[in-house]
Amino acid sequence: MSLRPGETPGRAIAIFPFLKTSQSIRLGSLTFQSTDDTAGLSDEDAAHVREVAEMLFLQDDLRLKSASYALLPAVDLDKPDLTMQELERVQAIVAYCYSSPHPTFGDPFFHFEHASLVTFSPEPVTTFLVRPDYHVEADPGFLLTPDKWHRVPGYHGRYNFRHAFWVVKGSRLYPPVPNIGLNISQDFAHDLVSSFSQPHHQLLPQLLAQPSTIIGERVLTALTWHNRANALGSDEASSVLNLAVAFEALLALPKDAKTDRFVDAISLLLGRVPRLNLWAEQFYAARSDVAHEGRAERLRFMPFKPANPADSPLYQELLTYGRQIFRLCVGTLLFGAFVADRIGLQDKLVTNQERFQSICKTLDDDKRTLEDRFAEIGELVASIGEYRFVTENGLRIDTMVGAAQRAAKNLLLWEPSIDPVAKQVIENVATAPKSSDLYDALTAVYSLKDLKIDPHPDPRSPLDVARQLADIVWHYTFMHYYWLKEQREKPGEIK
């Protein structure tokens, strides 16, 4: 960056130069609209949008009339940034939707380059990067007036998140390939809404939800490799290799025995479709040839296996089928994950003992803020409450009591000015003396459970979370507590 101390960049702009739109559309937390539409923007932001829109060219002197843009917060393009990570996810989904293969011939509607994404950060840029003077002929009418640090107002940019560039008003930005071509009917908002209405694409927008899931991240990684397989700069062999990596990421294939597992995974997701296993075997054989030998002899589908492979008729390209099969697998996998999430399958497979252990670990994590700690354990406490009547013989009283005591200690740090009566009860839990039977700690937990104070307006507040936890611990331990009490009250019993 060329910023000096005290200087800050303006709000950044992300643009799909080759995708026009007739209306706005929201993707994740970002709203994309036409560069013709700057209504509601500040004068400064509107000027930046118009300025960068005038830099977008198709070829020669043919400037693009409009593009689709989203206004971003200020970003540092040289550092990891959550906004830029979300943009990468958006581009992966947009490129994936626009590369839908022709139902008959299998060619992608658009190649990856059509979904190129350019990010501009308004900030001073050095003239040495904007107007290098070695071995070039400059337009004498293009004049810059630099400041004492040799800087001029401009933009630091990233093309497809990889290629850095620096531009100023009047600069020209061209496509990443010599001839990209445009489509008359293409309409960004309309096309995406239409795509998301397709059965195998309906769940794609959920990949932009936060926090992301393990399966969601896996699918997004697979989409990224799939999009590389559709790049104009890739030949057929490298496209096969990139698409194979996309399948491997999507299906989480092991490092060994990939061919057999690939065939099985495809068949499991899509059913025992006749000849599907033949395609899978041939596709993966081509992938292995490219990976290990740099080329593949057969990149077209053999519908059956003759005694002599040379006598087999050849049909469409393996890549053509691969694009369509990949989409079916993505749709099936996302639907399965969606249904599993709806019934809370992942949660059902976790024991309450594990949840109590997670609470202890979270509350001991000094790297997290107190707010984050209670927010995370709030979900765990709710899950423990939901499954507290499920039979479980692995529960440990010391773990449960330890979770309640840690919650009390964190609560005192969170709300030091709490009501004196309530504070004393919480302190009793946090500082209960250790003993082999945990009797004193259980007595304190009982007091916290029955604490009589006005409820917090937010049921997820740290105080209510701690009380809910105490209530659950008491549910599990009250019989043990009264047994201990009985033992202690017996004549001659050592207290």
Using one digit for the tens of pLDDT, what is the confidence trace for 164-182? Answer: 999 999 999 999 998 899 9
Tokens in use for 308?
């002599």
Tokens in use for 11?
């709000």
321 within domain boundaries: yes
Q: Bigger pLDDT: 19 or 451?
A: 19
Instruction: Please tell me the distance from the alpha carbon of residue 283 to that of residue 280, in angstroms, as a whole number.
Output: 5
Number of domains in the chain: 3
Task: Over range 21-40, report the average pLDDT.
Answer: 96
280 with 151, same domain: the answer is no
494 within domain boundaries: no
7 within domain boundaries: no
197 within domain boundaries: no
362 with 476, same domain: the answer is yes
316 with 355, same domain: the answer is no
118 with 240, same domain: the answer is no
181 with 320, same domain: the answer is no
463 pLDDT higher than 90: no
Percent over 90 (pLDDT), the chain: 64
448 within domain boundaries: yes
Task: Over range 38-64, report the average pLDDT.
Answer: 96
Query: What own/partner pairs with CB < 8 Å and gap ≥ 24 does 314-320 have?
Result: 316/106, 317/106, 317/236, 318/240, 318/279, 318/282, 318/283, 318/286, 319/106, 319/229, 319/236, 319/239, 319/240, 319/243, 320/101, 320/105, 320/106, 320/107
- The model's pLDDT over 368-427, given as tens digits with 9 standing for 90+, comes to 998 899 999 999 999 999 999 999 999 999 999 999 999 999 988 887 777 788 888 888
358 pLDDT higher than 80: yes
The pLDDT value recorded for residue 456 is: 55
**What is the residue whose two structure tokens read 């087999």?**
312
The pLDDT value recorded for residue 494 is: 52
Neighbours of 65 (CB within 10 A): 13
**CB neighbour list of residue 95: distance below 8 Å, 6 or more residues apart:** 110, 112, 114, 115, 223, 227, 230
Residue where a domain terminates, one of 311, 344, 377 = 344
57 pLDDT higher than 70: yes
Task: Over range 154-159, report the average pLDDT.
Answer: 96
In 3D space, the residue among 220, 227, 276 whose CA is nearest the CA of residue 250 turns out to be 220
312 with 450, same domain: the answer is no
17 within domain boundaries: yes
26 with 114, same domain: the answer is yes
The pLDDT value recorded for residue 318 is: 92
DSSP string across 383-446:
HHHHTTTS--S---HHHHHHHHHHHHHHHHHH-TT--HHHHHHHHHHHTPPP-TT-HHHHHHHH
Task: Over range 139-150, report the average pLDDT.
Answer: 88
Tokens in use for 71?
């206004």
The pLDDT value recorded for residue 182 is: 94
177 with 42, same domain: the answer is yes
**What is the residue whose two structure tokens read 């337009």?**
139
The pLDDT value recorded for residue 425 is: 87
208 with 184, same domain: the answer is no
458 with 414, same domain: the answer is yes
Boundaries of domain holding 361: 350-489
Mean pLDDT of the chain: 90
In 3D space, the residue among 56, 48, 50, 75 whose CA is nearest the CA of residue 18 turns out to be 56
- The model's pLDDT over 218-230, given as tens digits with 9 standing for 90+, comes to 999 999 999 999 9
224 with 336, same domain: the answer is yes
| pTM, 2 dp | 0.84
Task: Over range 262-266, report the average pLDDT.
Answer: 91
Residue where a domain terminates, one of 302, 327, 344 = 344
255 pLDDT higher than 80: no
298 with 162, same domain: the answer is no
370 within domain boundaries: yes
Task: Over range 122-130, report the average pLDDT.
Answer: 93
493 pLDDT higher than 60: no
Residue where a domain terminates, one of 291, 312, 344 = 344
Run of H or E including 221: helix 214-229
The pLDDT value recorded for residue 202 is: 92
198 within domain boundaries: no
353 pLDDT higher than 90: yes
The pLDDT value recorded for residue 405 is: 93
